[in-house]
A and B are shown apart, each in its own frame.
Chain A
Amino acid sequence: MARKLPATDVVIVGLGWTGSILAHELAGSGLNIVAIERGPWRDTATDFPPAYAQDELRYHIRHDLFLRPAQLTMTVRNSVNETALPMRSWGSFMPPNGVGGGGVHWNAETWRFLPSDFQMKTHLTERYGEKFLPADMTIQDWGITYDELEPYYDKFEYLCGTSGKAGNIRGLVQVGGNPFEGARARQYPTPPQKQPYGPTLFAQAANEMGYKPFPQPSGNLSQAYTNPLGVTLGSCTYCGFCEWFGCGNYSKASPQTTILPVLVRQPNFEARTQCEVLKVNLDDSRKRAAGVTYVDTSGNELEQPADLVLLCAFQLFNVHLLLISGIGKPYDPRANEGVIGRNYSYQVTSSVDAFFDDKIFNPFIASGAIGMCIDEFNGDNFDHGPHGFVGGGYMGAVQTNGRPLQTTTRTPKGTPRWGLEWKEAVAKNYLSSYEAVTHGGCCSYRDAYCDLDPNYTDRLGRKLMRITFDFHENELKMSQYLTDRLAEVVQKMGPRQFEKKPRTGPYDSRIYQTTHTCGGAIMGADPKSSALNRYLQSWDISNLFVLGATAFPQNAGYNPTDTVGALAYWASDAIINQYLKNPGPLVRT
């Protein structure tokens, strides 16, 4: 039996990017805020000091900063005809844990989605006709436009100090930026990062082919920057330990480096760490959230009543908590009804490996978000009519790291995996090979979804969440097309040989791709096909908001964090300026 604690105004589940943003914005309204975080407190000086933060084995291979599957995992299968089995160790994605969440160990690639991405269904139907889309594709419009979200993208980027070059300022295309991006109100807060050799060669080749290469927008800063909260970040040193690692240099945008030093000083805010929320409680009417129940490390169950509940956990765990708590109608793929678990989606990446004789790339001189990219083949920036698929992605030379365990796997085709020949190939190719990448979107489908698993439970007896997911023909065609286009640019860079590695099916949960899982409680205009309204408010429970990529109806061909951050500011604006003045549904049905 849970012990009931005194009520608070707001309870936040998870203190990563979205929890930190919401807490900081709402703290200004004077409300009492309790953030409950499953993992430990983490700060730069203590937890990722430069003395030992550059440890590939500990952080990348042994997953030191991530959630342990022993604590909570999920089951996975490719189709409804299979029995799902648990992910006993992490593979294709890396669920975060601890204060700062995924913001601690991301690569900091800070992209906006395209304006047409937010009206994907309408846009594609108008341009190509409804029959162009596969019958089982369940893409939707977001219920929000790019123009509405633009001020909140701006706010998140100025919180982070994002380093980049604008491609479109108030409708005027800027030379050297991404000409395809939506109009932004102003330049990036800081100039682009410097580019090493590989991205420079890629940009030259792309230019010669008539493309418009531009520097990838980076949350690893090109110079020191003081954000509007008064927190200062340092200049990135290109150490090449970004994704999977905490930044020991205060130069990667994270909750630690942008918000938490200010947030924790608010007298009306408190964080409870190492406390795992078990469920959201509803009151007797089942129309209103009463708070949450959580368990601390001694196994004590505690009930925290609150007037407003904000689910700010990682996407997968937001969906899990909704299913466990019995909030909203669970999605049923057979009937195509229900909303919780619906439109689970992912990201479709691919690469081209190139091997050179006369080049030294120094791959270890890296940042998680440097690189030169092109956007000609993203979203609907090109005519899909002749190709028979929709969607796209950016591509480029993105030099994230030269860590040996991750990058010595790059050897020419036919190289043995061990022995003298392997050793020779690794020694020869480490400095002189290069991997260029594509980063494609992923549409949503009727048979890709999340529900509760019938067979497996966590250590506390809760049912695990079950993921049913596979890549569809549309995405595999897209990946082949993007990879072919990328290979043309890579070939122009002059390698002795190169190898295309398009994404192929089936979806393989063992192989790391991205941690860009999304959907499962999506935003939209219709409560029959979405769990949340356009303000990320639950259609069913008006004092419950669900943040994060959980709300994406499908995934665009970009990294999600900028959009996750923008939606967090968008939702907090709606809570402060609409909800608190008149608590209740912000969209009437």
Chain B
Amino acid sequence: MITSTPQLSSPDHTGSDIAQPSRLRSGIRRRELMLTTAMTLLFSTSSVLAGVVQGGLPWEPDAGAPPTAVTPGPWMYFTADEGAAIEALVDRLIPPDPQTPGGKDAGCAVFIDRQLAGPYGSAEALYMRGPFADGTPQQGDQSPLTPAVRYRKALAALDKYCRTTYAGKSFTEIPDSEKDKVLSGLEKDQVQLEGASGRAFFELLLQNTQEGFFADPVYGGNRNMVGWKMIGYPGARYDYREWVERHNERYPLPPVGISGRPEWVRKAD
């Protein structure tokens, strides 16, 4: 009992016999080491352990969780046909111009592929319990499908739509002006996809494409920092103190990313 004269409890008073969670002064960081990706859930697996912190900050060397860099190479989630369609789609959402590459050369398709192959694609962090029902728009997305499944279904339906509408041609095979018509139709809900919401797919694709164009290059998009150079964003810099009060002047330094600048990094073979 708390009484009018608080007393220190005996040393054994608090939690001394706790077996689980144990006093993981070393184990508390184990969670980080066992992460395979930065987005691994922090609660659902037995590798993520409860811990007790007492007596000092539980710091350990090399316990952080840096991002896992995307490596070039074959598609990890898309099939070859899906990958080709996505490359064509992102290159219309963000077309190349004389100054700046388009979505394809910026790596947006690779970015989306790697995202869908990971915890984002499987909706690992999201509440995915039923019942699933459609509500008002402002109640948010209520789809029971993960992003990865949504892409697969929508790309198949888009392929079917294009082949039906354009005499057997796929999205990649129709002229740019027709590609834009299809995208515009999806955006305005005028192109209907079989078994998938065309408009919802358009919104997801546009969001992910822009993510690929502007996210740190470590995730496979924004290749050579083309998105950042286009707008004049210096990237992952950390100290602008000398520049706060230099008003209306263009900041002179080129962008850096989490892994430095592209020319510093050894190119993958």
* Interface residues in chain A, defined as those with a beta carbon under 8 Å from any beta carbon in chain B: 5-9, 29-32, 34, 39-41, 43, 45-47, 49-52, 54-58, 61-64, 68-71, 73, 76-78, 82-89, 91, 97, 194-197, 200, 235, 237-240, 248-249, 260-261, 264-265, 267-276, 296-298, 300, 302, 304, 307-308, 359-360, 362, 364-365, 402, 404-405, 408, 417-420, 422-424, 426-427, 430-431, 455-457, 459, 506-510, 543, 580-583
Contact = CB atoms under 8 A, between A and B. Distances in A.
Nearest to B233: A404
Given A423-B94, A423-B95, A77 B12 contact: no
Interface stretch (B130-138, B167-175, B191-199): B130-138
B39 interface: yes
Interface string B39-77: 101111010111111111111100111110000000000
Interface of B: 1-4, 6-9, 12-18, 20-21, 28-29, 31-32, 38-39, 41-44, 46, 48-60, 63-67, 92-95, 97, 99-100, 120, 124-129, 131, 133, 135-142, 180, 183, 187, 206, 209-211, 214-216, 218-219, 227-228, 230-241, 243-245, 247-251, 258
A450 to B, nearest CB: 16
Nearest to B230: A427
Most chain A CB neighbours (cut-off 10 Å) among B32, B51, B94, B138: B138
A197 B248 contact: yes
A97 B48 CA distance: 15
B18 to A, nearest CB: 6
B31 to A, nearest CB: 6
A6 B247 CA distance: 61
B233 A402 contact: yes
A34 B231 contact: no
Nearest to B8: A30
A420 B14 CA distance: 64
A194 B243 CA distance: 10
B123 to A, nearest CB: 8
B247 A418 contact: no
B41 A298 contact: no
A419 B180 contact: yes
B14 A195 contact: no
A272 B54 CA distance: 9
Contacts of A76: 139-140
Most chain B CB neighbours (cut-off 10 Å) among A29, A57, A91, A268: A57
A405 B210 contact: yes
Nearest to A363: B233
Contacts of B243: 238, 362, 365
Contacts of B247: 196-197, 200
A225 B34 CA distance: 37
Contacts of B63: 46
A190 B46 CA distance: 46
B129 A86 contact: yes
B16 A6 contact: yes
Given A32-B13, A273-B53, A364-B233, 14 more contacts: A34-B14, A46-B63, A47-B64, A70-B125, A84-B139, A238-B240, A248-B238, A270-B52, A272-B50, A274-B42, A274-B50, A307-B2, A404-B231, A405-B211
